[in-house]
Chains A and B, each alone.
Chain A
Amino acid sequence: MLNTNKIRSDFKLLSGEKKPVYFDSACMSLKPNTVVEAMNEYYFSYPACAGRSSHKLGDKATKKVKETRELIANFINAKSEKEIIFTRNTTEGINLLANSFSFKNGDVVLITDKEHNSNLVPWLRLRDKLGIVLKKIPSNDDNTFNLEKFSELVKGAKFVSVVHTSNLDGATNPAKEIIELAHKAGALVHLDCAQSIAHQKIDVRKLNVDFLSFSGHKMCGPTGTGVFYGRQRLLEELSPFLVGGDTVLFSTYDSYEMLPVPEKFEAGLQDYAGIIGLGEAVKYLSQFDFEDIRAHEFEINKYVTESLEKFPQIKIIGPKDPTLRSGIVNFYIENTDMHKFAIMLDEMQGIAIRTGQHCVHSWFHAKKIYNSLRVSVYIYNTMDEAKIFVETLTKILKII
């Protein structure tokens, strides 16, 4: 069981006098003090280039970056730290894949019907540029993954790129089954773990996934950091789309030799402070049992869901069962712009909550839903906060 009081004391924002009710962790998690301190330490004590400068400061930066790569490899149980590529975020990871893999005209790529724009637009662009065939896997009525449909569609597909846990409704797709079916059909699989990485144990070897990407900012890490994982053999086959400084062993006026993985994908000077901060975030999260995190989120989700179900006008997106929706409760009222709800919750009780289409515009357009209000909780949220949210929302619903 999580010690929420102890956890909250690790976050400066939650230790002050005016504490917000932060319910927007699906967009951006808060950062523990240790992460910020580690980044400050880099800037204050050894603000040097990693991997190239041979002085002591450079050595320390190199060592810290290497340590972070190892930490992340262990965190997701990768075979080697060479399978860890630092990116700016999940979006960059998916773009790296879409632009580096040898796709060609007619290749079939499968995605779900509720992908974040990060895992939709790069493929749409590839469809327009190369002529790949992009197919979407329709979800079940309750927005859960339709394995039956998938098993039909995957035949003949070259690639499957699906979201692991959806930021739309918190539902987690059955990654293991998807990967097994895809591999059987001869397709490779990429998992978008932006939303799942901070909420459940990700074991790339158990999953047997080929590629995977996630962001640092949703897992207590700094903004502008992310990771793209790929099996080493597959990574070696990819042709990087971003090249230049730090990606080559040498160059002449008319030739160059690329560095091995992972360096060949990390062009230009990296965000060392961010990478080191990400390492601290991984260390921070590693102290928790993910089952405890899940139980904590489900408890709050259950309370919020049951409270919202008392209002007939409220429609919750995704499966009815809160235990299937991680820490997310995304809801809307038909023909109502939910934007003002978010403003009012913030103005009245400092409740930070996300409204809009959550970068899943395609789903909202298809369903003809204007927008929704998304509660997303994490380790530092409490039941008291959930009660404040429900009370305030009840007040608002009385007048609207």
Chain B
Amino acid sequence: MPCIVALIVFGIMGIFSASQRALALEALDCVFRRVTFRACNTGFTEKVKGKLLAKVLKRSTFLAKVLNKYYEIFSWIFFILMVGSTIWVLRGVYNFYVFGSCNGLNSTGFCAFDPNGENNKVTPLGDGETCGITQKTEKTVTLKNVDLSSFPVKNVGSKNTVVFIGCYACDYSRKAYPDILKLVEKKNADFIFAHYPAKGDVTNKLADVGYCVNRDYKDKFWDWNSYLFEIDKNYILDPKNLDTMLTKFNFDVKKVEECANSPETKTAVDAQVKELNKTNIYGTPTIFINEKAFVGPKPYRVYRSAINKFIFF
């Protein structure tokens, strides 16, 4: 058993050090002999044991005695720990690849590959109902019983469906949107866009305007939508710029303004937000790919894996 442990340990260390490589080869020879039911004739096991015992004996006779007596048991323990930690690391790598986090989908725990948690950052939403008592997680985020028929949609009839719930003025939504757009175009997926006004009045206004643009200028809505995600955030947050933006797309400014300020629009947009709240989202962006929720801006490969059904666990 010690030679199997040594083979793995020195094998990994051997990638970086030639001296460890020699030990790895010795361990390999030893393992080969053991699996072919022959004695390990390199003295490798004894060499490793001797080195370990010498180091421990310099510090404590008692510990060295224990290590010598239970060396085989310790070897097994370390072997099991090593196998366990290897599986854990592989799981982390897999999770990072398909979910953008070592700890699993939307998990904000520490991940060595994404130490700042960039892939899970969201713009939090106020939650008047739970007052922060219940921490919402992606497990409760769902599209079940949510009516999305009033939201802008394209590529209807595709086998894949992507739902993007984001906010024009939120950094993380702005980060994720181009990737989602790229995915939708590449896979020709059914794409539903929902603007969630996460940042108060200005974003409420943009929700109202968006509703009207979709209703009255359907063919230009997606260009308008992309424009809002591309242009400087501070520019769209300034209400004075709204008219200029609408003019840029040759929209009838007066008509859009009137529509946006109408009670019917307010009622419709409120109804939309209520529907979105039914999803239990706790931040933007929240993206549903074939109903699986991804909270926060993930790397493009995560979305691609989801749509390609590369997620096995």
Contact = CB atoms under 8 A, between A and B. Distances in A.
Bound together = yes
A134 B11 CA distance: 47
A347 B61 contact: no
A348 B51 contact: no
Given A337-B43, A339-B46, A339-B47, A344 B54 contact: yes
Nearest to B56: A399
Contacts of B49: 340, 343
A341 B64 CA distance: 13
Given A340-B53, A399-B64, A348 B58 contact: yes
Contacts of A342: 50
Interface in B13-68: 43, 46-47, 49-51, 53-55, 57-58, 61, 64-65, 68
B61 A343 contact: no
Chain A at the B interface: SS class = helix
Interface string A344-387: 10111000000000000000000000000000000000000000
Given A343-B51, A347-B51, A396 B57 contact: yes
Interface string A380-400: 000000000000000110111
Interface in A42-98: none
Contact of B55 (A339, A341, A347): A347
A396 to B, nearest CB: 7
Chain A interface size band reads 10 to 19
Interface string A324-346: 00000000000001011111101
Nearest to B62: A399
A393 to B, nearest CB: 12
Contacts of A344: 50-51, 53-54, 57
B65 A343 contact: no
B54 A347 contact: yes
A336 to B, nearest CB: 10
Given A348-B57, A396-B57, A343 B64 contact: no
A343 B68 contact: no
A347 B64 contact: no
Interface in B223-278: none
A396 B46 CA distance: 14
A342 B47 CA distance: 9
Nearest to A337: B46
A356 to B, nearest CB: 8
A399 B55 CA distance: 13
Nearest to A345: B54
Q: Which A-B residue pairs are the 3 nearest by beta carbons?
A: A343-B50, A347-B54, A340-B50
Interface of A: 337, 339-344, 346-348, 395-396, 398-400
18 contacts: A337-B43, A340-B46, A340-B47, A342-B50, A343-B49, A343-B54, A344-B53, A344-B57, A347-B50, A347-B51, A347-B54, A348-B54, A395-B61, A396-B57, A398-B65, A399-B61, A399-B64, A399-B68
Given A339-B50, A340-B53, A346-B54, 17 more contacts: A340-B46, A340-B50, A341-B50, A343-B50, A343-B54, A344-B53, A344-B54, A344-B57, A347-B50, A347-B51, A347-B54, A395-B61, A396-B57, A399-B53, A399-B57, A399-B64, A399-B65
